[in-house]
Structure 1
Amino acid sequence: MKKVSFRNSDMAWDISTLILTPPNFDEAKQYPTVISVHPFGSCKEQTSSATYGKALAEAGYVVIAFDASFQGESGGEPRFVEDPTQRVEDVSRVIDYAVTLPYVDAEKIAGIGVCGGGGYVLNAALTEKRIKAVVGITPVNIGRLFREGFSMYNPIGALEGMAAQRTAEARGGERLVNELLPASLAEAKDNGMTERDVYEATEYYKTPRGQQPGGATRMLFSHAQKTLAWDAFSFAETLMTQPVMAVIGQKVGAFGAYRDGMEIYGRAVASKDRQLVELEDWSHYDLYDKSEPVGLAMAQIVPFFKEHVG
């Protein structure tokens, strides 16, 4: 694994990546390559590389995990912006970089993403036809989640709050960066924040299990307006022509990955091969790094990618 930053000619900042390579890697050969997209509030050092990137590299793939623009070690100002359009564009820019690497087979590129990253990579595949197959691991449609749970089912109120905050910042006020999770499991318990996804997210992101410096779990409130008008699965019935797989756990939580995985599977009617993998005894955050559910997922993902990208 090596860390590489790049900037294409049409970019204003660098994208930071981790490139994972198979055993006995030979730079003179070409390999099928997987672009790995991290969750909302996460970074490349977490599940996108440490879990799925590692497993896919061991299975024979070059894997490029990267930090989203405005997040982690990638550039872009202001920091902690969650912009779905930019997140999807980042996927294409990483592919732009990948196809310049001599060991990447440009005709055998796949995408994988976890949580919000699953929603982003699925959306990218709608228009980015260099992606030949795509997998969403417990995928979340961030637009749907913002319109519902994240706005307390009051999207107009959230938009009005964002508008007021952006005006205040434009006039010199302090930026409002929202922390998305309790600071610790103890704080979560003390404040009654024990809903499955919230509590398990805290266990992953706020303990040594998954905690990383770049995984900020923060969001710049004033710049999140466009998220509420975005939908990961728009036009999926027509544009999702590639093979697509959604992997979901049947232990349902508030972030809605079970629902979203079912939705993209149901809507991807133009796909050449659509597959839904349901894991009965596992939850959203179990699929981030726990060996048994990840192993069950990989047992489906590797043959899927092998069939479609080699």
Structure 2
Amino acid sequence: MKTVQIQNADMAWHIAADIHFPPGFVETRTYPAIVSIHPFGSCKEQTSGNVYGKALAEQGYVVIAYDASFQGASGGAPRWIEDPTQRVEDVSRVIDYLVSLPYVDDDRIGVLGVCGGGGYALNATLTEKRIKAVVSITGVNIGRLFREGFSGYNPLGALSAMAAQRTIEARGGELQVNELLPASPDVARENGLTERDVFEATDYYKTERGRQPGGWTRMLFSHAQKTLAWDAFAFAETLLTQPVMVVIGQKVGAFGAYRDGMEIYGRATASADRQLVSLEDWSHYDLYDKPGPVGKALKEIVPFFGKHLTDTSTAKTQTAA
């Protein structure tokens, strides 16, 4: 693995990324590549990198897992902004970097995203046609979630509060940085926060199971307005033409990955190859790192990417100009 800083000419800050290399990697050969996108509130060292990124690299892919702008080890200020438009632009910026690498086959680039990253992966694929195949793992449409549960089903009230807070900050007041989860599973239980997704997210992010220094699970409240007017699946019937695989768990939680997965699978009618992987007995956060469901997901993901990103199971030799 190699850690890099991506600094394209039109960027005011860098994107921090880990490149996972396949076994026996040789720089004079060209390889298919996969961009791996982390969940909302996460970082590249968590499920997108150390689970799916690592596993797909072992299957012969160059995988790049990166931190979103304003988050993790990436640049950008103020910190902890969750801006869907920027998140989608990050995907294109990472692809710009990939196509500059001599060992990446620019005709064999795929994208994979987990949770909110799954929604961003799908949305990026609508317009970024350098992406040849997309996989959404327990993907969530962050715009829909913000308009519903994350705003207390009061999106207009949330927007008014964000506007007021942004004015306070513009006048020099203190930033409002919201912590998204309880401090620990015990705190969650003590406060009755035992809904499946909330509790399992806490168990992942707030324990040694998944905790990482860059996985802050924080959000700058005042800069989240645009999220409420964003839709990961807008124009999917027309623009989502590439092969798409949607992986969901059938144990339903409040964040709505099952619902969103079924919706985008149903709407992806223009896709060259749409596939639904619905895993019985598993939940949203089981698909982050638990060997059973992750193994079942990879059993479908690996041949899917193999079909659409490479002609053989091994890297091809780079031809001389």
Identify the residue that residue 39 of structure 1 maps to in structure 2: 39
Letter in 2 for 1:13: W
Give 3-state SS (helix, strand or coil) of 2:209's partner: coil
Alignment of 1:54-69 (within 5 A): 54-69=54-69
Counterpart CA distance in 1 for 2:204 and 2:306 is 30
Identify the residue that residue 104 of structure 1 maps to in structure 2: 104
Counterpart CA distance in 1 for 2:299 and 2:103 is 25
Q: Percent identity?
A: 76
> What 5-or-longer segments of structure 2 have no aligned partner?
311-321
Give 3-state SS (helix, strand or coil) of 1:52's partner: helix
1:179-230 deviation digits (Å, cap 9, x = unpaired): 0000001100000000000000000000000000100000000000000000
Counterpart CA distance in 1 for 2:169 and 2:6 is 31
Letter in 1 for 2:150: F
Counterpart CA distance in 1 for 2:219 and 2:205 is 15
Identify the residue that residue 13 of structure 2 maps to in structure 1: 13
Counterpart CA distance in 2 for 1:131 and 1:29 is 20
Alignment pair present for 1:182 and 2:182? yes
Counterpart CA distance in 2 for 1:309 and 1:64 is 15
Counterpart CA distance in 1 for 2:6 and 2:152 is 39
Give 3-state SS (helix, strand or coil) of 2:11's partner: coil
> How many residues are paired up?
310
Counterpart CA distance in 2 for 1:298 and 1:83 is 29
Identify the residue that residue 244 of structure 2 maps to in structure 1: 244
1:225-276 deviation digits (Å, cap 9, x = unpaired): 0000000000000000000010000000000000001011000000000000
Give 3-state SS (helix, strand or coil) of 1:201's partner: helix
Identify the residue that residue 213 of structure 2 maps to in structure 1: 213
Give 3-state SS (helix, strand or coil) of 1:30's partner: strand
Q: Tell me how far 1:277 sits from its aligned partner.
A: 0.3
Identify the residue that residue 277 of structure 2 maps to in structure 1: 277
Counterpart CA distance in 2 for 1:127 and 1:180 is 30
Letter in 1 for 2:104: V
Identify the residue that residue 27 of structure 1 maps to in structure 2: 27
Letter in 2 for 1:211: R
Give 3-state SS (helix, strand or coil) of 1:19's partner: strand
Identify the residue that residue 313 of structure 2 maps to in structure 1: none
Counterpart CA distance in 1 for 2:225 and 2:60 is 40
List 4+ stretches of structure 1 deviating above 2 A.
Answer: none
Letter in 1 for 2:158: A
Q: Tell me how far 1:6 sits from its aligned partner.
A: 1.5
Alignment of 1:1-310 (within 5 A): 1-310=1-310
TM-score (norm 2): 0.96
Counterpart CA distance in 2 for 1:190 and 1:292 is 30
Identify the residue that residue 319 of structure 2 maps to in structure 1: none
Letter in 2 for 1:73: A
Counterpart CA distance in 2 for 1:291 and 1:31 is 27
Q: Tell me how far 1:2 sits from its aligned partner.
A: 1.0
1:28-60 deviation digits (Å, cap 9, x = unpaired): 100000000000000000000100001100111
Counterpart CA distance in 2 for 1:187 and 1:293 is 27
Give 3-state SS (helix, strand or coil) of 2:16's partner: strand
Counterpart CA distance in 1 for 2:6 and 2:221 is 28
Counterpart CA distance in 2 for 1:116 and 1:229 is 15
Counterpart CA distance in 1 for 2:303 and 2:23 is 18
Counterpart CA distance in 1 for 2:172 and 2:3 is 37
Q: Tell me how far 1:108 sits from its aligned partner.
A: 0.1
Counterpart CA distance in 2 for 1:136 and 1:261 is 8
Letter in 2 for 1:80: W
Counterpart CA distance in 2 for 1:146 and 1:14 is 27
User: Please, what is the CA RMSD of the aligned residues?
Assistant: 0.4
Letter in 1 for 2:5: S
Counterpart CA distance in 2 for 1:6 and 1:49 is 17
Letter in 2 for 1:303: P
TM-score (norm 1): 1.00
Identify the residue that residue 316 of structure 2 maps to in structure 1: none
Identify the residue that residue 317 of structure 2 maps to in structure 1: none
Give 3-state SS (helix, strand or coil) of 2:29's partner: coil
